[in-house]
Homo-oligomer: A and B are copies of this chain.
Amino acid sequence: MPHKTHSPRTTGRVTMPIQEGIDDQIRELVTALGADAVRNSDGTWLPEIASELVDRVYSTYFPARGDQDWALAHPDTLVNQYLMSARVTAMGQGPLTIDVLDGYFREQFVPCYERVERFWEVIDRTSGEVVAPSGWSVDESTGVLTIAEPTPWHEYTVGFLADQVWDTTQMYNYITNGWGETDPTRVKERPYDVRKNGVWEYAQQALREWLEAHPEVDVVRFTTFFYHFTIAFNTHGEEKFVDWFGYSASVSPEAIDAFEAEYGYALRAEDFIDAGYYNNPFRVPSPRFRDWISFQSRFVADKAKRLVDIAHEAGREAMMFLGDNWIGTEPFGEHFPSIGLDAVVGSAGSAATTRLIAEIPGVRYSEVRFLPYFFPDVFNHDGADPVGQANDSWLTSRRAIVRKPLDRMGYGGYVSLALEFPEFIDRITDICQEFRDIHEQSGGELPENAPFAVGILNAWGPLRSWQTHMVAHALWYKAAYSYVGVIEALAGLPFKVRFLSFDEVREQGVPEEVGVLINAGAAGTSYSGGEAWADGRLAEILREWVAAGHGLIGVGEPAAYDKGGSFIQLSDVLGVDRERQLTLNTDRYPTLVEGHVITADLKRASAFDDGEGAGGDVYTVSERTQVLSYDDGTVKIAANEFGAGRAVYFSGLPYSFTNSRTLQRALYWAAGREDLLSRWFTTHPATEVAWYPGRRKMLVTNNAYEAVTTTVLGDGREWQLTLEPMGSAWVDVD
């Protein structure tokens, strides 16, 4: 290591990736970072020195694809996946043929012909009718299905079961890293399904044997359990469909039969196909799909618990990686704690995902893996910027960590690559120390939150806490970022956040501790609610609740359902509605209210960044509505009083530190607590303060990439501070 890094003040809480062949450098780096645990990565092996260096040694373990010899010897155990064929139009009279795999990657899937009349379903999408199995046949040598007498000019689809002949993650890594060229002998791994013939018995035995063979491993890092989230590749070997929450690859004839036996009704292919939406999390979940989630989660938790027990029996800790084959282990689901894991580790893609990991119940500790992963795409000398990526990752996640500290942090990948970048090592040395400081300075105390909780109201409720509007893990999506910003902002704001489902609020009302509810989403999605607003019951409950003195914040197309002359069903509460080119005849005279506390951090109210906006123009429904931001004929922020309560509307809220601050202001205003704007609040929107009343300390953080000067407003006192770029400062309060 040519460059001598500086040393941290304290040690621990850090997991470092290591590999064979560079023992001296690893030893030095363990000291620099203050690491107390090491891990291998996909494709690296633990050196023998591992155990002497640190307290704990982690090793990845793959229960669903770890033994390819076994997989090849048991081809009847392949994991299934439900797929929908392309939509094919009957171009006139006569039989219609559909090559079910057309458009799919044939190295990933082959059709599964087990009881096709039971598990395949042909649907006329123009009429909505199911074609009886007697009306079609499939040629098993080609995968071509023929509908004998289709209705001319109707569109048809086939929902069918496929066998996965290539494991999803390994396929992804194989193709992404070009192993086909660089390592052509590498096996294309096949996944096996723990529900199938002999797999479960084998899985338990294999783990026992592995533990015995690896006494140096202290922590079994399950990567992960049994069912991968949904990914299908297309004809060109590119991603065709991805759903981080997708259960399409958790299916099998065995599972569907078991479901029927237990629930007393049979799931159809269409229950999984969902007209091609595959029950993605933006869809309002059907009761049958919810049953499936519950059924599989229970099964996975039961089996995972038994593997965890085996690890425990061997005196090891069991850690779960939150990703890959994580389906069935949703961490806020009711069965998750029963698995008995010691820990969860996940990747920090955003403040929201970091907060999600921090909040997982039922584990002793949680660990976050920061970016960048030490892979050649970032660690090269062709202009890549590993320091910049480390800064982004830390700055993004720090907001969440301040509010709810993760127990541990780490990095992953090939440490030999990172060692070539001494500035990077310096930077992560500081990050590790700043991470530990949060624990050491706070002494385990959580910073003070507002005296009311914030509720996020959608169809999913607690099950998908901190995971709203996510498509692929923490990736940016154009249509969704304007909503993701809400959760991203909240992940670092001083509020307890509750995730509430429509059903819960219908049945039990809004929990006592909640002061402001947020409904954010596009019309017809699970997040806005769609049919949940049809019968008016939710509107009644929320009107009464707001009028009693609470707050409501709507973002985009909240409570949207076309009924009775309104589109936003709480337009009376929010004071606005969404134009659908049905009310252009109504004149509008918006009057901008200047100098409102909600918009105080915006340079110009009209310049509020609402991202993609609400999907159409928004207008006020009454002269009482206060328009706080208006631009190009549409309302972007509005405030409205309703009874003794208040409501705020945002047409979108992509994350930025200014928008996060604007949301914080709106939450205080909606709760009728503008007084909080001078209690542990900072004047510069790039800065935030966390107040630890028990320790009489505050932590002030700078979310900007440049130095800023800010004033902290405490309880009647003020402190002026200048913070370095991305800096933070602990201040003792006498």
Contact = CB atoms under 8 A, between A and B. Distances in A.
A585 interface: yes
A479 interface: yes
Interface stretch (A40-48, A49-57, A234-242, A664-672): A234-242
A208 to B, nearest CB: 38
A548 B571 CA distance: 47
A276 interface: yes
Contact of A565 (B157, B234, B589): B157
A572 B153 CA distance: 10
Contacts of A246: 585
Nearest to A478: B633
A565 B157 CA distance: 10
Contacts of A243: 585
Interface in A542-580: 543-544, 547, 562-566, 571-572, 579-580
A622 to B, nearest CB: 7
A536 interface: yes
Contact of A564 (B125, B152, B565, B583): B125
**Copies per complex of this chain:** 2
B643 A91 contact: yes
A718 B502 CA distance: 69
A180 interface: no
A155 B125 CA distance: 37
Nearest to A589: B238
A221 to B, nearest CB: 28
A273 to B, nearest CB: 9
A617 B613 CA distance: 12
Nearest to A565: B275
Nearest to A527: B581
A633 to B, nearest CB: 4
A508 interface: no
B238 A522 contact: no
Interface string A168-193: 00000000000000000000000000
Interface stretch (A11-19, A278-286, A295-303, A349-357): A278-286
Contact of A277 (B471, B536, B583, B622): B583
A419 interface: no
A278 B583 CA distance: 9
A694 interface: no
A585 B241 contact: yes
Contacts of A633: 478
A86 interface: yes
A505 interface: no
A114 to B, nearest CB: 25
Interface in A79-108: 86-87, 89, 91-92
Given A125-B565, A536-B154, A617-B478, A586 B643 contact: no
Contacts of A123: 564
A562 B477 CA distance: 23
B587 A539 contact: no
Size band of the interface chain A makes with B: 35 or more
A128 B562 CA distance: 12
Interface string A233-263: 0100011111100100000000000000000
A479 to B, nearest CB: 5
Contact of A282 (B127, B154, B581, B615): B581
Interface string A388-410: 00000000000000000000000
Interface string A147-167: 000011111010000000000
B524 A562 contact: yes
A540 interface: yes
A621 interface: yes
A565 to B, nearest CB: 3
Contacts of A587: 234, 238-242
Nearest to A544: B153
B547 A240 contact: no
B479 A564 contact: no
Contact of A566 (B125, B478, B621): B125
A693 B246 CA distance: 64
Nearest to A126: B536
A213 interface: no
Contacts of A544: 92, 152-153
A153 B581 contact: no
Contacts of A234: 587
Given A615-B616, A633-B478, A540 B471 contact: no
A448 to B, nearest CB: 35
Interface string A62-91: 000000000000000000000000110101
A87 B543 contact: no
A144 B461 CA distance: 43
Interface in A275-318: 275-278, 280, 282-283
A480 interface: yes
Nearest to A277: B582
B152 A539 contact: no
A525 interface: yes
A276 to B, nearest CB: 4
A522 to B, nearest CB: 4
B615 A563 contact: no
A492 to B, nearest CB: 25
A163 to B, nearest CB: 22
A162 to B, nearest CB: 17
Interface string A219-242: 000000000001000100011111
30 contacts: A87-B571, A87-B621, A91-B547, A123-B564, A125-B564, A125-B565, A126-B536, A126-B564, A128-B563, A153-B539, A153-B540, A153-B544, A155-B572, A157-B565, A230-B585, A234-B587, A238-B587, A241-B586, A242-B587, A282-B581, A282-B582, A471-B584, A477-B584, A478-B617, A479-B579, A479-B616, A522-B580, A522-B581, A523-B580, A524-B580
Interface of A: 86-87, 89, 91-92, 123, 125-128, 151-155, 157, 230, 234, 238-243, 246, 275-278, 280, 282-283, 471-472, 477-480, 521-525, 536, 539-541, 543-544, 547, 562-566, 571-572, 579-587, 589, 615-617, 621-622, 632-633, 643
Given A92-B547, A125-B563, A280-B582, 6 more contacts: A91-B643, A151-B540, A241-B587, A242-B585, A479-B584, A525-B581
